[in-house]
Amino acid sequence: MDLEVPTAFDERDWERPVDGGPLRFAVVGLGWFGPDVAIPAIAESDYCETTTVVSGDRAKAERVADEKDVEHALTYDDFADGEAADAYDAVYVVTPNALHLPHVETAADLGKHVLCEKPLEATADRARQCVEACDEAGVELMTAYRMQTTRSVRWVRDTVQDGAIGDPVQVRGAFGYNLIAAGEDTDQWRLDPDLAGGGPLMDLGIYPLNTARFVLDSDPVAVHASTVEGPPEFDGLEKYCAFTMEFPDGPVAQCDTGYEVAGTNYFEVGGTRGRIRVDRPFDVDGDRRITVEQEGEETAVDVDEPSEMVEEFDYFATGVLTDMEIGPDGEHGHFDVRTTEAVYESAETGERVDL
């Protein structure tokens, strides 16, 4: 075996000098992820700070602002009216999927850069409108695929692109868990078709879908899929989805996701001369393990790396504060939502769907 797998990832391959800053954020959407994950990551970052929080509930906004020592607490209406707009430079949108567009449009109208959670919106048409709003305003729009800023996943991408495992032939990825067995409340927005735009595919399956695109540095040209409808609590949404993506020049990605399946969380690429697998790649700050197989020999290492949420915010800030091109941009996120719609179309018709 001639491929050495690092155990620690100490450098940002995108790092460059940053003048000015910090990039001041308004965090729009105060479910658990915003206050418990995003705001602490911003506080830990090198180039960012949270100056404003925005919620549909004024009391919640004020409580989070007090707990996190944030100066401004706004409602969605306050935000839309431009209140405290001088207090922030960028907006992080972390609301339910189908509520992204109005907040992205508000940010663009105010001349603020946008980091928007994945998927970019609940439908491809609304995702396209997000892209158009930011393009017309001349502001940056990044789709928040944290895996693309995760150092270990970037190493996998570079290793595959360097040809270390030969020509990529097959990608496999899965992300799912048993929502009901975990005791989660079924009265939540992820099980509301109007807010989520779909079931586990939109919430979890988007991770292996997008990571396949990132690692292969390519976009699929067709999909074929199957879904299994969930129980009544799922309001017509699927409980399981399996899909295949065909890429130019031969690679095929097989992905699956579900809300009623024992926990599954892995990503692997098989090539003509070897294979790379990452276990637990999609958890927030998960304990990842990378296994490389070449010529019958196998090496596995446990990964030591910083928080990918911190990396994501600092990456975005670096792009805004320097001349670094930001990816994944809005059009990248739009393509994923187009792909999920093709997956659902294929599952309904039983046919291969071209993209």
Q: What is the CATH number of the domain that holds 103?
A: 3.40.50.720
How many Cβ atoms are within 10 Å of 232's Cβ, its own excluded? 8
Looking at the fold, whether 168 and 188 belong to one and the same domain comes out as yes
Task: Say how many domains are in the chain.
Answer: 2
Kindly state the tokens that stand for 302.
């446990």
Phi, psi values for residue 335, rounded to 5°: -60, -40
What pLDDT digit, counting tens, does each position of 56-95 carry? 999 999 999 999 999 999 999 999 999 999 999 999 999 9
Contact predicate 14/157, CB 8 Å: no
Looking at the fold, whether 95 and 160 belong to one and the same domain comes out as no
Tokens 């929502």 sit at which residue?
A: 179
Contact predicate 237/198, CB 8 Å: yes
Looking at the fold, whether 151 and 169 belong to one and the same domain comes out as yes
Asked if the peptide bond before residue 119 counts as cis, ω within 30 degrees of 0, the response is yes
Task: List the domain range (segments joined by +) for residue 240.
Answer: 147-306+329-354
Looking at the fold, whether 238 and 252 belong to one and the same domain comes out as yes
Looking at the fold, whether 151 and 241 belong to one and the same domain comes out as yes
Looking at the fold, whether 163 and 118 belong to one and the same domain comes out as no
1 has a pLDDT exceeding 60: no
More confident site: 322 or 295: 322
Helix (H, G, I), strand (E, B) or coil at 317: helix
Among 120, 145, 170, which residue terminates a domain? 145
Is the whole model's pTM more than 0.95, yes or no?
yes
Looking at residue 16, what is its pLDDT? 95
Q: Would 297 be classed as within a structural domain?
A: yes
Among 96, 112, 145, which residue terminates a domain? 145
Distance CA 102, CA 113 (A): 14
Distance CA 81, CA 206 (A): 33
Looking at the fold, whether 193 and 271 belong to one and the same domain comes out as yes
Distance CA 242, CA 343 (A): 9
